Structure 1
């Protein structure tokens, strides 16, 4: 009885517990909108789905940005606690990644807005990259703190070459790409060590295993953008992305009966990434197998986003989100 009364007392201060992980929602939705757009270009279907979802993602992105800015001004202590947390600190980069993804969407609508968003997102992301790596170095982290969410500040560096094509000199894009590829390999070794030799992840972080898909998938797209070459290394990146996609589905029992958390959105963006990579592979090779895989992955990604969105809406209506953990 006392617990229920304390939960009812929280809503007046829900802003206090508004999590930085909310930006992961934008990553998933905007990623799916880009999938629809790319699908329409490759397979000649209507662009209305990509346009509608992209505009919705943009509106939701603005709402989340404004809400978190209010939290910064009104509850700065809580924000400092988040950015000093060994796990949540990694999710701050989700805000800059969301900005870059919205920038990519606006390439189809208004190139000037897209360019402004790119510079904001690229600058913010390199800041969060340096801040996060400095945080890792200066704090005594334990192996238990490591999880695939550590890839978030790294993956964003691989998105910059995709989002920044034509906006900035290629040497800057190579700078971001180099950071992303180098630290992906380093962090993957750490995460694999944690997964194999140490305790299992907490249930709320099991979906973050899907983030393993994102670095090679996004890296493949970025590499093609930079080199315009489907060479040996490009094939390695795409094949690794496809391997991790198959792996996380082989492990489907690990995700059964998990209580809903915002971290479920970790399912969504990596699936959008491998779908985009597969569509690009089809465009480059014209091999029909990649077309079939593109259809399958686009369908699965759409279903996953719809299911996670449904659960998010249900838990928001029950006021089970933005509460003290």
Structure 2
């Protein structure tokens, strides 16, 4: 007679909660990617009409769904794994991804403003409030990240070996402020926040090249982060248009974006050789941002020749983000993503 006590398998909920220990803040890059793709399709409405508008709306709803799901997961993670959250905040690289939450809020608010502004006063108030929350949190996140860099290396200060384009992430949220802020009547605040982003971009871009000279190439697994260098000039160009800046400055921003796109593209073979990880999502929002700027420049004087390249970029970006989404789903099903970092 078998007298062994039956073994109890952990429930699905228990296993899911355990896996959330490894849910790094970089997961909000999915929201940023889908928001960027939605903005790109909305920019294409002048050419593709209601089809582009519909795809932009679908992408926005999917981005909102992922955002809500991640927020709930983060609350659960903070409740059951507070030490893991604290470890992310102390990490020399992952801490910069804390800014992806307020950036996601600002992007979702910006999408709402583009799609629904002026249709209902209550909805306008809600979108203004959401944008303001994201904007303030982004400033707080930026100050927190930069303040860390003022410390010595032992207390989280800058180290050449850990300096990567990931540190551009806090800059992104500040540079994109005019995209939503101008439309809701907060142009002065949005312009000031944009100035903070431009200043930090110039500083960090200089430091990045110094880092390459001092510490050598980035690790292969961080190769996708090179695409992040596309974001400041791309979003900066769109923001300059929103602020009615001289078109010369916008073309300069677009040209800088082209340079960094070519530079980042040299890393594609290295990226393909690496196993899929959430780092690959670092390509999504940057490419979508540059696509949006290119689509917008097709309407500028002398920009008609960009129509075909812009359409091609939109197709490539859409396929990339769909591929990343499917790879993420497969990675979750096969247990390859929510695992300890190697």
TM-score of the pair, normalised by structure 2: 0.88
Task: Answer yes or no: is 1:207 the counterpart of 2:255.
Answer: no
Task: Answer yes or no: is 1:178 the counterpart of 2:202.
Answer: no
Using the TM superposition, give the Cα deviation of residue 26 of structure 1 relative to its aligned residue in structure 2, in angstroms: 0.4
Hey, what's the Cα distance between the residues in 2 that align with 1:251 and 1:81?
30
Task: Answer yes or no: is 1:157 the counterpart of 2:164.
Answer: no
Hey, what's the Cα distance between the residues in 1 that align with 2:44 and 2:223?
29
Aligned to 1:33: 38
Aligned to 1:238: 254
Using the TM superposition, give the Cα deviation of residue 145 of structure 1 relative to its aligned residue in structure 2, in angstroms: 0.9
Helix, strand or coil: the match of 2:337?
coil
Task: Answer yes or no: is 1:124 the counterpart of 2:147.
Answer: no
Task: Answer yes or no: is 1:85 the counterpart of 2:91.
Answer: yes
The answer (yes or no) to whether the contact 1:219–1:237 under 8 Å persists in 2 is: yes
Hey, what's the Cα distance between the residues in 2 that align with 1:12 and 1:19?
14
Deviates more, 1:180-189 or 1:109-118: 109-118
Helix, strand or coil: the match of 1:316?
helix
Task: Answer yes or no: is 1:223 the counterpart of 2:229.
Answer: no
Using the TM superposition, give the Cα deviation of residue 82 of structure 1 relative to its aligned residue in structure 2, in angstroms: 0.6
Hey, what's the Cα distance between the residues in 2 that align with 1:168 and 1:144?
43
Hey, what's the Cα distance between the residues in 1 that align with 2:290 and 2:58?
22
Hey, what's the Cα distance between the residues in 2 that align with 1:106 and 1:159?
15
Helix, strand or coil: the match of 1:284?
coil
Aligned to 1:147: 164
Using the TM superposition, give the Cα deviation of residue 286 of structure 1 relative to its aligned residue in structure 2, in angstroms: 6.1
The answer (yes or no) to whether the contact 2:221–2:271 under 8 Å persists in 1 is: no
Structure 1 unaligned residues grouped into runs of 5+: 1-8
Deviates more, 1:209-218 or 1:10-19: 10-19
Q: Deviation above 4 Å: which 4+ runs of structure 1?
A: 9-12
Using the TM superposition, give the Cα deviation of residue 236 of structure 1 relative to its aligned residue in structure 2, in angstroms: 1.2
Hey, what's the Cα distance between the residues in 2 that align with 1:55 and 1:308?
18
Helix, strand or coil: the match of 2:42?
helix
Hey, what's the Cα distance between the residues in 2 that align with 1:43 and 1:310?
26
Deviates more, 1:93-102 or 1:64-73: 64-73
Aligned to 1:19: 24
Deviates more, 1:151-160 or 1:137-146: 137-146
Aligned to 1:256: 272
Aligned to 1:98: 104
Hey, what's the Cα distance between the residues in 2 that align with 1:323 and 1:88?
15
Aligned to 1:60: 66
Using the TM superposition, give the Cα deviation of residue 12 of structure 1 relative to its aligned residue in structure 2, in angstroms: 5.3
Distance 1:40 1:52, change over 3 A: same
Which of 278, 298, 303 in structure 1 is aligned with 2:294? 278
Hey, what's the Cα distance between the residues in 2 that align with 1:290 and 1:230?
19
The answer (yes or no) to whether the contact 1:158–1:222 under 8 Å persists in 2 is: yes
Using the TM superposition, give the Cα deviation of residue 111 of structure 1 relative to its aligned residue in structure 2, in angstroms: 3.3
The answer (yes or no) to whether the contact 2:30–2:281 under 8 Å persists in 1 is: yes
The superposition leaves residues 129-178 of structure 1 with CA deviations (integer Å, 9 ceiling, x where unpaired) of 00000011124131011000000001110111112113343221121111
Helix, strand or coil: the match of 2:273?
coil
Deviates more, 1:119-128 or 1:40-49: 40-49
Using the TM superposition, give the Cα deviation of residue 324 of structure 1 relative to its aligned residue in structure 2, in angstroms: 1.5
Helix, strand or coil: the match of 1:67?
helix
Deviates more, 1:177-186 or 1:279-288: 279-288
Using the TM superposition, give the Cα deviation of residue 42 of structure 1 relative to its aligned residue in structure 2, in angstroms: 4.2
Task: Answer yes or no: is 1:187 the counterpart of 2:204.
Answer: yes
Hey, what's the Cα distance between the residues in 2 that align with 1:89 and 1:127?
13
The answer (yes or no) to whether the contact 1:42–1:279 under 8 Å persists in 2 is: no
Helix, strand or coil: the match of 1:320?
coil
Hey, what's the Cα distance between the residues in 1 that align with 2:34 and 2:187?
28
Aligned to 1:3: none
